[in-house]
Amino acid sequence: MRILAVLLLLAAGAPAQTLRSAGERRGVLMGTAADTMDIAHDATYAATLAQQYNMIEAENEMKWGGIQPTQGVFNFTPGDTLATFAEAHGMKLRGHNLCWHSYNPRWLAKGDFTPSQLYTLLETYITTVAGHFKGKVFAWDVVNEALAGDGSGLRDSIWYNQPGIGLTGPAYIDQTFRWAHAADPQALLFYNEYDVEDINPKSDAMYSLAKGMLARGVPIHGVGLQFHVSASQGSLTPAALEANMARFAALGLQIHITELDVRIPVDADGKASASDLAAQAQRYRDIVSACLKYPACTAIQTWGFTDKRSWIPHAYKGYGAALPFDKEYQPKPAFASMLQVLKGPTESTGN
Ligand code: XIL
């Protein structure tokens, strides 16, 4: 029995023990948000990142506030550092993001610019940044979080209506994609959004937006589903996740899971209960399983990978422990469930 198991394992190749090697076999990139400061100052962080993942994205350093904190001065150093790290470790670099209502530097957000000035600022920014990272960034979140929470339309922002760049409706979104495509025709261009994981008014609005962009000939290649979710959210059934992915796949778009984390309640020390960790592992399992059902779903990225570095405790009071590795870089049940799903039935049954 044991010999048979060994022979079968040999026939299948060495068992995949990392997310990246298991993902490679399933044709899905396994990624994480990362930060150059942590890479530089935390050797375990850097080693785990390189070992487990084949895609990275700057958590903040490639946002407008990171790249152009001072008007007219572009800082590409962190992005270039990530590109070098990615290349050294056989990883892809995902770009995040070119146009967002948030994380804009003060000079931009409070600059009282006219629509025509903003138009030029955005065009210059996208052209310069996408041009700089041409050949290094394989996919960009071109526009981030442009939809209103209730699905009623576009949210307020300096690019849309406060005062906006002078274009009506979704035309400003179309234009940003056209600029990005002109600057880097090879890059895959994504529209990225949160709270659009199941079928709801906001994901309906995103579906209409993407469909409209395609009809207008806009160069959009995919949608990013952020997946900042909780373990207890009842609406995120496997059927709902799959139905939502199915409709975007049917448009011919790629799907990237871009910012996955599964928050659970924690105590004052940041510790979670065993039952919440198990519920979290099940949630990760369902999400990875849903992605694997659709060839269009080509990347699964978590928003960080260690509970030592996560935005959740800051953004959601009383919650934390949202990532696959704990604060000591030990794999959690969530890691085991992701790996098991990626390995698939043949490897995980062990016979
Ligand atoms: C968050 C970062 O994790 C924080 O460190 C930062 O203070 C704010 O932004 N949606 C996005 C991400 O698209 O860029 C956000 O990242 C989380 C929500």
Alpha carbons 99 and 223: distance in angstroms, whole number? 15
Characterize the bridge pairing of strands 319-320 and 254-265.
antiparallel
- Please report the pLDDT score of residue 9 as a whole number: 43
Low-confidence ranges of the chain (pLDDT < 50): 1-2, 4-14, 348-351
Closest residue by Cα to atom 4, ligand 1, is 311
Cβ pair 327, 59 in contact under 8 A: no
For residue 20, the CA-to-ligand 1 centroid distance in Å is 24
And the tokens for 319? 């919650």
Whether the pTM exceeds 0.75: the reply is yes
What letter does residue 70 receive in the DSSP assignment?
B
Does residue 316 line the site of ligand 1, with CB under 6 A? no
46's CB contacts (< 8 A; 6+ apart) are 38, 39, 40, 85
Alpha carbons 138 and 78: distance in angstroms, whole number? 17
- Please report the pLDDT score of residue 302 as a whole number: 99
Return the closest-CA partner of residue 156 out of 143, 141, 167, 145: 145
CATH code reported for the domain at 2-343:
3.20.20.80
For residue 33, the CA-to-ligand 1 centroid distance in Å is 10
Does residue 311 line the site of ligand 1, with CB under 6 A? yes
**Does the annotation mark 347 as catalytic?**
no
Over residues 21-40, the pLDDT tens digits come to 999 999 999 999 999 999 99
- Please report the pLDDT score of residue 346 as a whole number: 62
**Residue of 97, 103, 195 best suited for mutating to test ligand 1, as the one with most atoms within 8 Å of CB:** 103
310's CB contacts (< 8 A; 6+ apart) are 261, 303, 304, 320, 322, 323
**Does the annotation mark 259 as catalytic?**
yes
Over residues 138-183, the pLDDT tens digits come to 999 999 999 999 999 999 999 999 999 999 999 999 999 999 999 9
**Residue of 36, 62, 259, 261 best suited for mutating to test ligand 1, as the one with most atoms within 8 Å of CB:** 259
For residue 346, the CA-to-ligand 1 centroid distance in Å is 37
- Please report the pLDDT score of residue 5 as a whole number: 44
Q: Which of 145, 197, 242, 347 is catalytic?
A: 145
Cβ pair 297, 249 in contact under 8 A: yes
Which residue(s) pair with 254 in the sheet? 222
**Residue of 32, 261, 303, 323 best suited for mutating to test ligand 1, as the one with most atoms within 8 Å of CB:** 303
Does residue 59 line the site of ligand 1, with CB under 6 A? yes
Domain map (residue ranges) of the chain: 2-343
Single-letter residue type at 140: W
Closest residue by Cα to atom 15, ligand 1, is 59
And the tokens for 98? 């070119």
- Please report the pLDDT score of residue 15 as a whole number: 52
Kindly write down the DSSP assignment for every residue of 255-276, as one continuous string. Answer: EEEEEEEEEEE--TTS---HHH
Kindly write down the DSSP assignment for every residue of 265-330, as one continuous string. Answer: E--TTS---HHHHHHHHHHHHHHHHHHHT-TTEEEEEES-SBTTS-SHHHHSTTEE--SSB-TTSP
In the numeric block, the tokens 């395609």 are attached to 214
For residue 280, the CA-to-ligand 1 centroid distance in Å is 21
